[in-house]
Amino acid sequence: MSVLRNRRADTPSSERTAAQGAPLREEIPAEVRRLAREVCGGEPELLYASDLSLTGEYEPSWLVADGRSVAALGSKHGQLEALWVVPLNEVRQFETEKFIGSAVLRVCRHNGSNPPLRFSLTKLNEFEHAREELERLRRASQQDSGDAGPLPSSRRCPKCHQVIPAWADECPECKPKGKLLLRVFAYLLPHWGLALVTLALLLVVTALSLAPPYFTKVLIDDVFTKGRPFAEAFRLLLLVVFGGILGTSVLSSALGALRAYLMAYLGARIIIGMKQQLYAHLHRLSMGFYDQQQTG
């Protein structure tokens, strides 16, 4: 839950819009609002809720900031208090770091100390947004002194303005779908013959599925309603029912099973090709790449 700029933190609740879905509403405890105003000396510009304590236990803690400082609020000896307060002019940068099952937002100061705020991975994208907002406040506070430092790399999509997830290099919502299909077809090209066979089987099975209604028409119009002799009507009945309806049903089922088998085989071959390409690419990467990337 976040209270961004131009939204007052003393409102009884705050809203944010999920990446996909309806707006979510979470209550801000009155005690948190009061302490946030005391720490900031007024209404905070940012107010974010975490779900972990500094020790990694499941209990709420809060990140608050205004144009002068940033602070973490949490429970200490059963009392809500400020865990740390850092003036923005002492901050070099803000950064997030992901671990197994949790992550932290670090306040990197010029003197080297880095007060953290811990949160679960479900709030990772939210605190990536918080990091950008904190960088905005930091640069605004340090602009007059000329010590704002270089512009941080943006983690926000320039097209949809959503925060890019930490695991992605580009916005997954704005990837061109046409290029994705072309990449899929590139994996299909080495198996084009088998793909054509499965496509032909699909057309044949579809055509066979249209045959039973026609044979039903023949059965009603030519067998039951024309007053034919019993022997002739019985032969036509056997021909239409067993030769037509049942025959096309059996043939359609057999071809459908063959098509399903070929589709599964084709999918397995494509996946094997993708795995081989991925494995070869991983071997081409340098050790420096793996040193810079987090796993787990």
pTM above 0.75, yes or no: no
Check residue 267 and give its pLDDT. Answer: 92
**Out of 3.40.1710.10, 2.30.29.30, 1.10.760.10, 1.10.287.90, which CATH number does the structure's domain 2-142 have?**
2.30.29.30
Beta bridge partners of 96: 105
**Is residue 77 classed exposed, middle or buried when 0-12, 13-18 and 19+ CB atoms within 10 A define those classes?**
exposed
CA distance 9 to 44: 7
DSSP string computed for 83-105: EEEEEGGGEEEEEEEE-SSEEEE
Domain ranges of the chain: 2-142, 177-292
CA distance 192 to 120: 46
Check residue 183 and give its pLDDT. Answer: 81
CA distance 221 to 217: 6
Contact 126, 2 (CB under 8 A): yes
pLDDT, block means (10 residues), the chain with 296 residues: 40 38 56 87 87 86 89 86 87 85 87 83 86 87 59 64 67 75 84 92 90 76 63 68 79 92 93 92 84 62
Check residue 9 and give its pLDDT. Answer: 40
Place of tokens 């039951």: 224
Nearest one of 208, 211, 244, 238 to 223, comparing CA atoms: 238
Cα dihedral sign for 39, 42, 43, 46?
A: negative
